[in-house]
Structure 1
Amino acid sequence: MFIASSSTTVKFHEFPNGNVTHHYQPGSKVEGPIRSISWSKDGAWLALVPSNGFTEVVSVKDQLRLIKTIQDIDQPSCAAFLNGANKLVGLGTRGGQVLVYDVKTRNIKKRFPRTSGLISHVDFTAKDTHCVAGCANGDILLYSNVSNNLSCTFRVPKSKSVTSLKANQTKRNLIMAGSNEGVIVVWDSNVNKAKFTMEAHKAPVTSVAFSPVNSDLVISTGADRQFCFYDIIDNKCIASVQVENNITSVDFSPEGTYFVMGSQNGRVYIYDSRNIQEPVHSFPAHSTAVKHLAFQRCSETSSSSSSMLSESVPTPSSEGSSNRNTSDLFGMFIQVPSNEMIESMKTSGNSMEAGDSFIAALGLDNKTAESLRQDEGVDTPEETKKWFEAVDSPANPSLQEKKGLGDGKHAHSSSTPKFFPASFKNVMSPILNAKPGQTNLAVSEIQAAAKEAVKEELKGTLEEIRADIKFQSTHITYQMRRMLLDLQMAMVREFIKMENFYNAMRDEILAESPRPVESNNYLLEENEQLRKRVEFLEQQIAAMTVSDAQPGQST
């Protein structure tokens, strides 16, 4: 698994050791920091927007190579892959456009209504129902991915800017943003209202992120040299940690166990989310400030965590290497103990007796943890070192098979780290709180407990599905009403246009008539003239008749 970090260039670091596997510079020359990076759904492609130039899509599968330079969209400012499609990427531009581009067919699939300012951030909600765009003027636009219309506009309270924007990847109605004024806010798009607001930092908020395993847990980093965790349900800050340098970016690992932060001095820090006071590892990434950090998305993490993490275990440079990193099945990384570490273990006293964090989370007591260590044969530091040497040996394949690795190349410790112990409160557990005389449970009790757990899980899932269906139905009904109203308005406009056209035609015909009606008495005057002419003609005929008769009489 890779961590992508960007400054003026993009580097791909192995997790957890931080070794640089690939180094990529967009364009022909360095013109400034990279504006945006985003992983595709399967983690094979990375979209990046340089400081000046076209959006580029690179592939990290097998080897680093350029897939596509999107020249169809000018002046891009940010990019984000859709969550449900590997080949579709959303793009924002400095001209206020928000578009969806198909990398495979190389055409623009969708255009959202244009805004007047620069688009600084773009992201997609879970299941890609909406597109969220942050503007330089402080507006946050929520576009419907179904109707392509603007659904709502948000603004960070007491702020005129947007410095960070993130949509929740598990709950599609949650959207979070931060501002230059140090305020962070979480909106519920179902009701178009703020769910959580906090004046978190005394300096600009540089980055925000949702926990992938707990949607109610969020983290923010600021230019005031601290990062904070918040519970958006209780509306409070649950942890605030001071650091030595300004934090510029943050991201969670896919399973939520770790989070990484980039600093202004170019270093990347890896933290265990169960012990956030000190980083478990750090490494230099860039000579300038780290602008963006992003864990590689892995589509197969749910099916096989061990296979994914085994790829991230660094191969030692020589068999005699005394200090090398490895990873276990839960994504936790540890080190094979050196002499200094063994001495520190001796002086730490109760660090091994306290049990590791995973056993404490399960509710196992110290005696059970001790029995597990005895089963593994690592009761003492000396035996611990011998145990790691035995794991490296190919003569012990059964232990490797027990761990599910089977390759015989990398050493893996127990299922949890024993060299970064953390103190956690015991939780209520049927193992810890079992009755003294109860050594095992009946099959019927286990079945009943399993049925109850499945029932509760299905109940929650069905309620969520019901809420989603209700939301979709309401949304579709609203869209249909809106489209019907638009159709009626269009028909009225066409009717008015045709009426104006016919009126103009009638006026034109009347204007071109050879004998226009000059007055209402036109017909009467015409008839009077005709009557007078008839009388005149009759008089002439009578006169001619008289004149013809007189000569005859005279003869």
Structure 2
Amino acid sequence: MYIASVSSTVKFHEFPNGNVIHNYQPGKVEGPIRSISWSKDGNWLLVVPYSGQTEIVSTKDQLKLLKTIHEVNEPTSACFQNTTKKNIGIGTKSGLVMIYDIKSRNVKKRFPRASSQITHIAFTAKDTHCVAGCENGDVLVYNNVTNSPPANLRVPKSNSITSLKTNNLKRNLVMGGSKEGIIVVWDININRSKFCAEAHKASINSVAFSPVNSDLIVTAGADRQFCFYDIADNKCIASISVENSITAVDFSPDGTYFVTASQNGHVYVYDSRNIQEPVHSFLAHKSSIRHVAFQNVQESNNSSMCSLSSESLLTSASIDNVTKRRTRSVRTSEIFGTFIPSAEPSPVEQTSVGSVDGGDSFMMALGLDKNFTDSVKHNDSVFIKENSRLPSIHDTEPSLPAYSLKVDKTEPDDSKPKQFSSTPKFNFQNRSELSPNIASNSLTTNEIKSIVKDLFNEEFKSVVSDLKNDIKYQGTHITYQLRTMLLDMQMAMVKEFIKLENYNNRLREDICPNVNYDTNLMEENERLRKHIQFLEEQLKNLTTKKEDE
């Protein structure tokens, strides 16, 4: 797996030691590279240079330039779609946002032009929306399905947008940061902010969602700090100070590690279970790093890294613990609030079994990541989410020494800091020693079916809830479109009626210019004429009567 670090060139580093495998320099080097984006399978990298055309670079076998996109002029930001690497989104200096088809080599779709230059662009989890950040601080959300008018979002108390990210787990969450140090998470289904905080005292340079917990975010600022927030609890979990301003941050695909890049060109690798000190660092560039991104890894590759079978690891006792504690709610902040200081792990932790790739994924440690639903893999993360379906390491009974930590139920020692530990990595050297002890108590078929059924029911409810939200959202947009069409039609009818009335008035004036066609005035004149005749007759009668007398 590679880490791509970007300054005026792109360097591909081997993870985690940081050895430079490839070094790519765009055709024109006039300044720092504007943006990069990995394809879905991690074989292609999309590069937008400071000036010039967008380029697609392949890293599969050897580093080589695949294509230069000449059809779009003055690009400023670009990214791959999440569901396919056939299409990419591109923003330009003139405010254009479009979707480019790599295979057919033409622009597939054009969205309404923005009022200023596009600085950031991203797609939601299922590519239903395209989100574009503008130089004037606007965040435009384009619907890629219904082509309805874009929603306009802004960071509160700010006129800028310095970073923009979408959530790969929840398609309705979008996060942005500003020069004023304000971080905001929007729910684009209702076009409102779900979380907002003054995270930094200086500009926010980079933000990232956790790939395994939708409620956990990390922000990096020019005030030499990076912070973790739980957006569900609406509070800061941790704030770590460093020596140099952080310019970029990104999570590894399994959420076990995250990297930060600094203005002095160094890249720091952190273990999510102990963020006080980096586990590794290396010099990537001689100047400030603009972007850093982990290479995307396909799910099949991730799942194959943990080869433990469910029959050898699941025991009756563990299933009972899962059943008893499935309804327990564990917040992200409860586990992530205290961190392990730099120290050697205890002997119990060294002999524990964990996930090879996921680090803290309990189901992957059990080898069930391929048989169970994707939600289990997502929710059993390094930072444990609310209403987690499986127990955390703190809930594990001491009767399972093979893969649980020993729980001391005595009074805690105040002289030592309280320590939370997540599931440690799996040690292949200890597998042969631990597996026979666990395999002695295997599950029955009915027990496995019961657990799978419960997990399926929970996942089904979650899918139904998401589907209802999507239907509600689409219905709202359709209703908006119908109302807009109706109002446009009524306005057109009024305009045509006014035109016809003006034409008739001009025609009357041309035919009889001196004739007054005011109907009310004519009726009033006729009434007065009759009244005058009546008065004249009365006067005549009175005059005749006096003469006779």
Same fold (TM over 0.5): yes
Q: CA contact under 8 A between 1:174 and 1:189: conserved in structure 2?
A: yes
What is the one-letter code of the residue matched to 2:229?
A: Y
Mapping 1:417-496, distance limit 5 Å:
427-430=394-397, 432=399, 447=445, 449-492=447-490, 495=493
* Aligned residue-pair number: 412
The superposition leaves residues 286-325 of structure 1 with CA deviations (integer Å, 9 ceiling, x where unpaired) of 11111001111122445644399xxxxxxxxxxxxxxxxx
The equivalences for 1:229-268 within 5 A come to 229-268=228-267
Please tell me the residue identity of whatever aligns with 2:121.
V
Partners in 2 of 1:473 and 1:236 — Cα distance? 31
Deviation at 1:487, TM superposition (A): 3.7
Q: Summarize the Cα distance change of 1:496–1:469 in structure 2 as closer, same or farther, 3 Å threshold.
A: same
Instruction: Give the TM-score of the pair, scaled to structure 1.
Output: 0.67
Distance change in 2, residues 1:491/1:288 (3 Å): same
Q: CA deviation at 1:223?
A: 1.0
| Counterpart check, 1:41 vs 2:63 | no
Match of 1:10 in 2: 10
- Cα distance change, pair 282–442 in 1 and its aligned pair in 2 (3 A): closer
Q: Identify the range of structure 1 (74-83 vs 460-469) with the bigger mean alpha-carbon deviation.
A: 460-469
Q: 1:432 to 1:23 in 2, by over 3 A?
A: same
Q: How does 1:327-338 map to 2 (within 5 A)?
A: none
Instruction: Give 1:428's aligned amino acid.
Output: D
Q: Is the 8 A contact 2:148 2:481 kept in 1?
A: no
**In structure 1, distance between residues paired with 2:193 and 2:74:** 32
Deviations 1:440-464 (A, max 9, x none): 9876x75565344323322331122
Q: Tell me how far apart the structure 2 counterparts of residues 59 and 294 of structure 1 sit (CA, whole Å).
A: 15
> SS of 1:138's equivalent?
coil
| C-alpha RMSD of the superposition | 3.2
Q: Decide whether aligned partners of structure 1 residues 439 and 36 sit closer, same or farther in structure 2, where only a CA change above 3 A counts.
A: closer
| Equivalent pair of 2:56/2:66 in contact (CA under 8 Å) | yes
- Tell me if the contact between 1:40 and 1:87 (Cα under 8 Å) persists in the aligned partners: no
Deviation at 1:253? 0.8
Query: Which amino acid counterpart does residue 154 of structure 2 have in structure 1?
Result: R
SS in 1 for 2:288: coil
TM-superposed CA distance for 1:493, in Å, is 5.6
Counterpart amino acid of 2:173? L
Q: Which runs of 5+ in 1 are unaligned?
A: 309-347, 363-424, 521-555
CA shift for structure 1 position 149: 2.8
The residue correspondences of 1:313-352 to structure 2 (distance < 5 A) are 351=345
Amino acid at match of 1:35: R
Please give the alpha-carbon distance, in whole angstroms, between the structure 2 residues aligned to 1:144 and 1:201.
31
Distance 1:349 1:451 in 2: 42
1: CA distance, partners of 2:306 / 2:177: 36
Partner of residue 68, structure 1: 67
Aligned counterpart, 2:151: 152
- Structure 1 residue matching 2:395: 3-state secondary structure: coil
Inter-partner Cα distance in structure 2 for 1:497 and 1:464: 50
Aligned mates of 2:251, 2:172 — CA distance in 1: 20
**Residues 441 and 188 from structure 1, CA distance in 2 versus in 1: closer, same or farther, beyond 3 angstroms?**
farther
Q: Deviations over 1:193-252 (max 9, x none)?
A: 222222111211111111111111111111111211111122222122221211110111
How far the C-alpha of 1:14 sits from its partner, in A, is 1.6
2:190 maps to which residue? 191
> What's the secondary structure of 1:460's corresponding residue?
helix
Query: What percentage of residue pairs aligned between the two structures are identical?
Result: 52
**Distance of aligned partners of 1:456 and 1:151 in 2 relative to their CA distance in 1, 3 Å threshold:** farther
What residue is the counterpart of 2:534 in the other structure? none
Question: In structure 2, how many angstroms separate the alpha carbons of the residues matched to 1:349 and 1:110?
Answer: 54
Aligned to 1:20: 20
Query: Matched residues in 2 for 1:350 and 1:15: separation?
Result: 23
Contact 1:361-1:427 at 8 Å conserved across structures: no
- The question of whether the paired residues in 2 share the 8 Å contact of 1:112 and 1:149 is answered with no
Distance in 1 between residues matched to 2:399 and 2:213, nearest whole Å: 25
Distance 1:109 1:121, change over 3 A: same
Deviation at 1:78, TM superposition (A): 0.8
TM-score by length of 2: 0.68
Cα distance per residue 1:318-363 (max 9 Å; x no partner): xxxxxxxxxxxxxxxxxxxxxxxxxxxxxx997562433853899x
Provide the C-alpha distance between the structure 1 equivalents of 2:466 and 2:438, rounded to a whole number of angstroms.
44
For residues 268-417 of structure 1, what are the structure 2 equivalents within 5 Å? 268-301=267-300, 304-306=303-305, 351=345, 353-356=347-350, 359=353
Deviations 1:407-459 (A, max 9, x none): xxxxxxxxxxxxxxxxxx9622245369xxx999876x755653443233223
Instruction: Using CA pairs under 8 Å that are at least 6 residues apart, name the structure with larger relative contact order, 1 or 2.
Output: 2
Provide the rounded CA distance (Å) in 1 between the counterparts of 2:354 and 2:58.
Answer: 41
Taking structure 1 as reference, are residues 197 and 499 closer, same or farther at Cα in structure 2, changes over 3 Å only?
Answer: closer
Deviation at 1:92, TM superposition (A): 1.3
State the Cα distance separating 1:485 from its structure 2 match. Answer: 3.2
Residues 303 and 20 (structure 1), Cα distance of their counterparts in 2 relative to 1, 3 Å cut: closer
